[in-house]
Each structure stands twice: as C-alpha cells, then as structure tokens.
Structure 1
Amino acid sequence: MTQVHATAVVDPGAELDPTVTVGPYAVIGPHVKVGAGTTIGPHCVIEGRTTIGADNRIFQFSSIGAIPQDKKYAGEPTELVIGDRNTIREFCTFNLGVPGAGGITRIGDDNWIMAYTHIAHDCHVGNSTTLANNTTLAGHVELGDWVTVGGLVGIHQFVKIGAYAMVGFSTAVSQDVPPYMLVDGNPMAVRGFNTVGLRRRGFDAARMAAVKQMHRLLYRQGRTLDDAREAIKALGAEVPEAANDVALMSDFLAASTRGIAR
C-alpha cells in the first residue's frame, strides 16, 4: 500500500500509485496524480491539477502546483506536469499555467533542481537540466535539454535558453541564449561556448569543432545575425557529423523572439 505518514493530509480524490511515499505533514489536493516510486517529503504542499511521474524525489517544504502569480488568473483549470526521475530540493515553488498560453507548466525528466528554485506559470523545462539554488524562472520561460543554470540567476519572462547552454552565477538573463553557449555577468554577455559541458555529454572532435565554428560565426566575425544564420545553415553540409547540432542552432535562431544574447 501507499506509504502515507499518519500526519499527512491526502484528499480522497488524489491518485497515488501504491509505491508512493508521503512524509509527515504533507498536504496533497484532490486533483493530484503521482506516479510509481515517487517520494514526497515532509511539509510539502502539492495542489492544483498536478501530474507527477515516476521515481521523483521531492524534498521537504516544497510548494508544487499552486496557482500562478499572475493577476489575470481567475481559477481556470490549468495544469502542472512533471516527468520522471527528477530531484526537487527544499523550498521549490512550481506554479500552474494560465489560460491563453497553453495553460500547462511542464517539467521533463531527469532534472536536478536545487533549493529555492521558482518555476513560474507556463514554463517548459526540458530533460537533464541542472538548476542551482535560487534559480528563478519568470512566466513562459523555455529551457532546452541539458541546460545548466548557476545559483541566484533570474530569467526574464518569455526567454528561451537553448540545449546544452550554461548560465553563470548571478546572471540576469533578459535575452534568448543560443544552444551550446556560455553566458554570465550583469549585463549578460556570451563568454564562449560550453566546452566542459559538451565534452561531458560525449561530443566528439567533429561536433566540438562545428560548435566552435558556430560560435565564431555568431560572435567573432562581425557578421549581422542574418548573415551568421545563413553561414551556420551551410555548415551542416560541410560537417555531416554535426548536421543535427547545426539544425538545432538554426531552428533556435529562427524561433527567437526576444533577440539573442550578443
């Protein structure tokens, strides 16, 4: 049977897999669904239309699925969806979505989310990200897979951060960060590309060289953004091993709405 501490309050309408563990004084609302093997720590509050996958570890004092911090929200049935195998440390706050923007806040799989992280309404967090302590995501932020965010980082609403990018400690992120890039500072600036992170992800020499060339085209040759985009597209044919990496960059640049970090 589900292991629910005697002091926890679980609404009869909640759907918990029999292998879920709920710690002391946790509160779980009527529209919550929790998958196999997930552990919910003491004093957590999980509410709203929140769906949590399998094998997550949610540490004490987290607030998951509260209404969004948006004055336009009027109680509509929006959602929070969390995938599998995420680690969610102490005092994290994840909010439901708002109508008109999809209405779903979504967090993928295998993310390492440290204490005091805030994920606002309608954010989309990919897979295998690392968010250090006090990371703050405003509404509608999108993080690609394998993104790393340092502590005390604030990310402006509607910003997109591409896959494999890294944001340094205490950076204010107000523009889109292309995939693979390394940014930090106030004001934010691109310092290079995420060499260490890409090596850890198994990028071989050809792929690393292609990422380095994309960085040069965007930031080191004085090109306009349109010119750099065309040169990056051509790089895919020149380095077939990196065709997917080039396509990822090209698609990101084409979809950017806030302008990219330059």
Structure 2
Amino acid sequence: MDPKAKPNRSLYAPIDASDDDERLNDPLIVGVPRTKNKTVRSWMIVALTAAILSTLFVTLLVLKPSLATTDSNQQCPDHYDLDQISTTDADADHQRLSLGSDDASPCGHSRAEALAAGCVFDMLSYAWIPPDCYDAALTAEFEGLSDWRYFSQKDSASPQIPHAVVALGEHHHLFVTWEWHLRHCTYIWKRYMRATLPDGPMHSVDNVTVSDAHTLHCERLILRKDPPDLQKVNTRVRLKYLKCTRLGQ
C-alpha cells in the first residue's frame, strides 16, 4: 500500500453519537428507536415504584393494629406497684426501689422494732420512719383529703381493710385507688418542698421522698394521656422502713 495514499473513508462506518453501550450490546433492543426505549424504561420505573409504595401501604395497614396494641399496653398498664419503679414507660422491666444495705433504716424490719426505735408509722408513705423526718401536719392533711379505702386485693369488690388496722403498720402490702396513688405523689413533692423552706417544719426527709427514681415515676403517672378512673383499684402499696436524709448533705 502506498503510504502516501489517503485511506478510504468508506471502509470505516460512522458511529452514531446517539448510540450508547447498552443499545449496541443488547440484542433485545436492536433496532428500537432511542425515544421509544426511554419511554419503555420510564414506564417500568413508574410501575416498579407504584408496586413498592403499594406494598409498604398494605404492610402498614396490617401492622398498625398490632403496633397500637403494643403501645397501649406499654402506656396503659393495668396494675401499678408503688414501690417498684419502672425503667421504661411500660409496666415491665421494673426494678425494685433500692434502699440498699447502706441505707438500712434505724426503724428495723418489723413493727415491734420500729416502735422500740421510736419510729412513727406514716400513712402517706405507708412506711415506718424516724420522727426527725415525719411531717405530721402534712400527713394529717393528706388523710383528710378523702375517706381513703384500702383493699386486700386489686379489686374494689374485695374486702376493705379498716383504716384503724392499716394505721397499725403491720400489713405487708395492700391495694389503693388510682387517686390515692396520684395524691401520694403530689404530697411527697409537697413534703420535699416544705423541707427546703427556712422556716419549714423540718429539714430532713425520708430516702423515698428524696429519691430521683420515685420523682420520675410520679412524673410519668401524672403526665399520662389516658389515665384510669380515679376510683380504680390498681396500685399495690408495700410496707417500708425508711431513714432520714438531711437536705444539703
């Protein structure tokens, strides 16, 4: 071949700039105009997106009742234990309100020991506490709020325990109404507030009143969006033996 001869341009087929690798290599779409190919792919994308959205919608419809039930069970426990502080919004995974060995009460572990130590039974806390942190006036105010009822079981139809018997401080546990529980919370806060006043009746409180866990427990109850009926018997109260804590120490 003459090196000076010009190459025959007809030997080289021009490349269509509009072609892409997909079209050149895909035998399924050979000869299909590019605009039509784009239209087909667009409709495929729309159809696929619609299918995915429809599946998600149906899934949500199916799961919504079960999710609502789970949330309701967590937010609306049927039973409360005054001395078990929940670590969540559910009535599960409770942890015992720990007094610990370091917080051993000078009131002992029985009514006889408490009386021998000079402790007082406090109806507001349902506990034996030393006289130094017993706010008699506040407890009397709490007692006068209502004709509080005390039950042997979590049922308003169960036998009631007379007030005089409850005041002996011997029952290991008993059941009270939702209203009693809420009032207990607000009056425990009042007790703390009164202890902070310079001219308050005392400057010590028991270790439940000063407990962060108990405060948060009460906050959750009061902020409930769907509280039970005030007269519903749904709270168990356990007998406790507490100690005093001087504020500021």
Shorter-chain TM range is under 0.3
Higher helix share: 2
Question: Relative contact order (C-alpha < 8 Å, sep 6+): which is higher?
Answer: 2
Q: Which structure has the larger Rg over C-alpha atoms?
A: 2
Higher strand share: 1
Taking structure 2 as the reference length, what is the TM-score of the superposition?
Answer: 0.25
Taking structure 1 as the reference length, what is the TM-score of the superposition?
Answer: 0.24
